[in-house]
Amino acid sequence: MDAVLGTIMISLVGEQPIPNLLAVLYAQPQHAVLVCTERTKAVSERLRSVLKERGISVEDEPVDVVDVDPYDMADIESKLKTVIRKKNWPPDKIVFNLTGGTKPMAFAAYRLAEQLSGPFLYVQSEGKSSRVYRYRFSERGPELEKADEVPPVLDIDLYLKAYLGGYTEDELREEFEKMVGAVLQQELEEVKTSVRPAGLGALEIDLVLRCGNRVGIAEVKTGGKAKKKEGIEQIITAAEQRFLGTYTKKFLILDREYEPNNLKLAKAHGITVIELSSAQNGELSKEDTEKLIQTVKTELGG
């Protein structure tokens, strides 16, 4: 979407911040208005923080004023109209982002967009790439104007702050971790190591990985730990919906073959297991190096 000076994007906030974040970073509106509910206030606050950090003006009022009942369409529509009227925003400068929120929130915002003959968009983020679908109203009704693949606009820092609010990072300590990290740092667009998310106690994520707008987390286990369920449990905790959410890819990287029952458990939780047995000899073989690179890139859409 071409950036238009003065554009206001009204976004419906759901429990997953990334679709909203992608839409705003892609469209680069001058103002971003976040419409939240009691349940998604914390998500809105984190989004406001990261957007302000990146230079997009987020209105001071949305969390308080556009705090809507998630299922009361009349309430949602009324509050959005009130904000638009108070701000004296011209309808032709407003774009509605209908990606997040509840279905009644989307219906209400769609109805208002129709009344104003304003454009609206939807971000599809479920696959290995993200697309923005842009619509406009014509005499025949809503028409798909354009569908664009979102170029790389995210980085790991934004991703973690949108989900967690804060984190720390450190150097890797184990030799196998360093071996894996060194390979991926040369091949991926971005890698962070030994990440400790704020609010998750002692939980540490060995690697956070990014290709384009896709982010993954990896636990790297060696020796006795590579035989146990510990890595699975750590990944499951970090990738819960209330933490790093459903859009985060999950990897478990081991220096040996995994026990079959644990392998089934990992797959059941959507965790990609990468077995690199050659590491037991002190370095990765050419074949295992290629396996590591290609598996991670394929899963992240790189």
pLDDT in tens, 86-103: 888 898 899 999 999 999
pLDDT of residue 265: 95
Percent of the chain past pLDDT 70, that is, above it, reads 92
Query: Cβ of 277: how many Cβ atoms within 10 Å?
Result: 13
pLDDT of residue 198: 80
The predicted model gives 7-22 an average pLDDT of: 90
Q: For residue range 60-80, list pLDDT tens digits in order.
A: 543 334 789 999 999 999 999
pLDDT of residue 65: 40
Domains annotated on the chain, with CATH:
8-149 (3.40.50.10770), 156-300 (3.40.1350.10)
Average pLDDT of the residues of the chain: 88
Percent of the chain past pLDDT 90, that is, above it, reads 58
Closest CA to 277 of 239, 222, 212, 211: 222
Name every residue whose Cβ is closer than 8 Å to that of residue 22 and which is 6 or more positions away in sequence: 123, 125, 130, 132, 150, 153, 154, 213
The Cα–Cα gap between 251 and 273 comes to 6
pLDDT of residue 6: 54
Q: For residue range 130-148, list pLDDT tens digits in order.
A: 899 999 998 888 999 988 8
pLDDT of residue 3: 44
Residue 158, CA atoms < 13 Å, CB-side half-sphere: 26
Q: For residue range 206-234, list pLDDT tens digits in order.
A: 999 999 999 999 999 999 888 889 899 98
The predicted model gives 273-282 an average pLDDT of: 95
pLDDT of residue 61: 44
- Judged against a pLDDT cut of 80, whether residue 245 lies above it is answered with no
- Judged against a pLDDT cut of 80, whether residue 246 lies above it is answered with no
pLDDT of residue 241: 64
Dihedral sign (CA 284, 247, 207, 128): positive
